[in-house]
């Protein structure tokens, strides 16, 4: 927490800032900032409403970086909103991932281009095409308006997340609205990927750091091949620092060797760890690989819950009931070692409590994984899980 004048008073978060300066300074966007206001969301329709309001209220610029931008009801709603602001004379830019948005009809992007939105596809697919390829994707979900209001988390732009459109099948996710210096940091990440994709350097503010609230935050992004392991290093650092408890929500749980070791080491030194994963996600290979890791986690005393509600897509971590991490990064080798990702580390009791309360709500829709968990799996799934876990162990 910080005082009203914006100075940090909590030693834990100040130490986090020192750790990043000492070990990860070249990878973090900037040093930890005070003076932010934060709103956490667990309902995508509320995220979309807040994002659309920010787009409507923007006066100069709207920047969007999106892994999955669909041409469905939600996608067209945003396409029309962005197009309208471009017609109003604002600078409006969208960069979307070629793989994540592969199902989208090009007409949705053409509509925005015709209105003056600058639309860029990140790493288009194609044989022998420079910058192409299925790996090293831009998995971020960021929106920044006027360098002051930012959104970041797991929610993409599409009907899957909307309860209004998809009803009870809407995906469960976590997203965040940030007002203050951290929004500038998110904009710097967009500017970097824009330059990589287009060669154009966007004009951005790097020194204003205007205070808007009382929350301390650190924005961390994997920003290209040289910093591809920043997400792994961040999570290992926080797990190593944990003293009492960890609540971890993760949809695609295929942790690399160092993450697995950090989790098990923390549990063995007495840290109470609870892990929430979906029993069945939208990626069966992730589910089967995760199953094969259960025995080692349970031996260490880690409590595992399997979510039985709609698709769980949220990515969040709470350390010692004090520090929260929310963003786009999964615990799989793609997020931890290849993709462009972003997370926000924050020190705010109110937001962390919201994350903990949501964790408890999710557990009400979950089953605890017991010693007899294998009885609910088919023989084929158990054999496949063991093989995939062995591959993960030796390759990652």
What predicted TM-score, i.e. pTM, was given to this entire model? 0.91
Q: Which helix (H) or strand (E) holds 215?
A: strand 215-221
Distance between CA atoms of 99 and 87, rounded to whole angstroms? 29
Closest CA to 201 of 209, 210, 192: 192
Q: Which helix (H) or strand (E) holds 332?
A: none
Q: What is the pLDDT of residue 4?
A: 36
Contact 218, 36 (CB under 8 A): no
Q: What is the pLDDT of residue 129?
A: 57
Max distance between CA atoms of the chain, in angstroms, equals 62
The structure tokens 């281009």 sit at: 113
Q: What is the DSSP letter of 200?
A: P
CATH assignment of 11-395, among 3.50.50.60, 3.30.870.10, 2.60.40.10, 3.40.190.10:
3.30.870.10
The structure tokens 């259960």 sit at: 294
How many residues are recorded in the chain? 396
At 84-120, the pLDDT tens digits run: 999 999 999 999 999 999 999 999 999 999 999 999 9
Contact 266, 240 (CB under 8 A): yes
Q: What is the pLDDT of residue 8?
A: 41
- Beta strand extents in the chain (DSSP E only): 33-41, 61-66, 91-97, 118-122, 141-145, 149-153, 175-179, 215-221, 245-249, 272-278, 303-307, 316-319, 323-327, 342-347, 366-368
Domains of the chain by residue range: 11-395
At 75-94, the pLDDT tens digits run: 999 999 999 999 999 999 99
Q: What is the pLDDT of residue 213?
A: 79
- Encode the chain (396 residues) as per-residue pLDDT tens digits: 333 333 444 455 555 545 544 544 555 677 777 889 999 999 999 999 999 999 999 999 999 999 999 999 999 999 999 999 999 999 999 999 999 999 999 999 999 999 999 999 999 986 555 555 666 899 999 999 999 999 999 999 999 999 999 999 999 999 999 999 999 999 999 999 999 999 999 988 766 667 777 888 889 998 766 666 888 888 998 999 899 999 999 999 999 889 999 999 999 999 999 999 999 999 999 999 999 899 999 999 999 999 999 999 999 999 999 899 999 999 988 888 889 999 999 888 899 999 999 999 999 999 999 877 777 788 888 888 888 888 887 767
Distance between CA atoms of 187 and 210, rounded to whole angstroms? 14
């Amino acid at each position: 927490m910080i005082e009203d004048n914006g100075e940090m008073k909590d030693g834990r978060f100040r130490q986090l800032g020192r750790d990043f300066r000492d070990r990860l300074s070249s990878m973090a966007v900037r040093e930890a900032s005070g003076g932010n206001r934060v709103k956490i969301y667990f309902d995508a329709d509320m995220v979309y409403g807040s994002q659309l309001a920010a787009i409507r209220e923007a006066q100069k610029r709207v920047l969007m970086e999106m892994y999955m931008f669909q041409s469905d009801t939600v996608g067209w709603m945003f396409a029309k909103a962005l197009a309208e602001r471009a017609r109003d004379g604002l600078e409006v830019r969208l960069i979307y991932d070629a793989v994540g948005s592969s199902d989208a009809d090009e007409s949705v992007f053409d509509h925005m281009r015709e209105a003056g939105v600058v639309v860029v596809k990140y790493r288009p697919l194609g044989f022998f095409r420079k910058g192409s390829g299925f790996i090293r994707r831009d998995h971020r979900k960021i929106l920044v308006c006027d360098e002051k209001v930012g959104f970041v988390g797991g929610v993409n732009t599409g009907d899957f997340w909307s309860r209004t459109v998809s009803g009870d099948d809407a995906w469960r996710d976590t997203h965040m609205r940030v007002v203050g210096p951290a929004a500038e940091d998110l904009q710097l990440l967009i500017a970097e990927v824009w330059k990589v994709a287009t060669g154009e350097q966007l004009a951005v503010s790097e020194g204003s750091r205007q205070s808007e609230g009382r929350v301390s935050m650190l924005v961390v992004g994997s920003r290209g091949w040289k910093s591809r392991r920043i997400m792994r290093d961040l999570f290992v650092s926080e797990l190593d620092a944990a003293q009492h408890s960890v609540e971890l929500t993760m949809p695609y749980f295929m942790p690399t060797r160092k993450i697995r070791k950090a989790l098990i080491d923390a549990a063995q030194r007495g840290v109470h760890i609870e892990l929430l994963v979906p029993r069945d996600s939208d990626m069966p290979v992730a589910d089967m690989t995760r199953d094969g890791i259960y025995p080692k986690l349970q031996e260490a005393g880690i409590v595992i819950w399997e979510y039985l509600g709609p698709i769980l897509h949220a990515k969040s971590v709470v350390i010692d009931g004090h520090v929260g991490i929310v963003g786009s990064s999964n615990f799989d080798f793609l997020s931890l070692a290849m993709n462009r990702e972003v997370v926000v580390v924050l020190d705010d009791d109110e937001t962390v409590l919201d994350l903990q309360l949501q964790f408890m709500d999710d557990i009400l829709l979950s089953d605890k994984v017991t010693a007899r968990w294998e009885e609910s799996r088919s023989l084929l799934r158990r054999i496949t899980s063991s093989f995939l876990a062995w591959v993960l162990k030796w390759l990652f």
